Amino acid sequence: MIVELEKIKADTAAIIDDVLLQTGIKAGEIFVVGFSSSEVAGEKIGQGSSLEIGRAVMQVIHSKLTEKGIYLAVQACEHLNRALLVERELAEKKDLEIVTVVPALHAGGAGQVASYELMNDPVEVEFIVAKAGIDIGDTAIGMHVKHVQIPVRPAIKELGAAHVTALTSRPKKIGGERAVYRFEMQA
């Protein structure tokens, strides 16, 4: 598959704008990105990593989230046990345990390498609980999004050849048969 980077950038912008709107994520919240440049290029996940595609996609995502004050967490591939690349500021603010590794193209992936270049002070953490996220290439981000998860259907469902899905979350509803979930003034 021939990848047109300008189309990939434009589609990424449209997808991210749509997902951010649908999820209602706000400044200060965490947005996780799972990303396979191989899948975008029409290859099997992990078999055709492309830093060029990684840079094109992550530059758009990083820019959009940064302008809205939303924290970016980029999921690594399984070779780094799905660790997440974040800004040190976020890791310290949320008291996340930092691990010692830096991403490489085939151990972390193109999205992590590209994000490492874009971030001010990037670090890897093993675990995070994000408000919402996007999955480009069926990389399985669900482990990083808080419960209760709600699927989001982007208007554009493919980026290059990669399948695109997203998740948001809501607080759990607790209680029994008398539980009420909307406050009404009592007389």
Question: What integer pLDDT is reported at residue 96 of this predicted model?
Answer: 97
Is CATH 3.40.50.10360 correct for 1-170?
A: yes
Q: What is the per-residue pLDDT across 35-81, written as a single tens digit (0 to 9) for each?
A: 999 999 999 988 889 999 999 999 999 999 999 999 999 999 888 88
Angle formed by the axes of helices 51-68 and 5-23, to 10°?
40
Enter the pTM of the model.
0.91
pLDDT of residue 102: 94
Contacts of 32 (CB under 8 A, 6+ apart): 73, 74, 75, 84, 128, 130, 132, 133, 134, 141, 144, 145
Q: Each residue of 104-163: pLDDT tens digit?
A: 999 999 999 999 999 999 999 999 999 999 999 999 999 999 999 999 999 999 999 999
Q: Which residue ranges make up each domain of the chain?
A: 1-170
Which whole number is the average pLDDT over 166-184?
A: 86
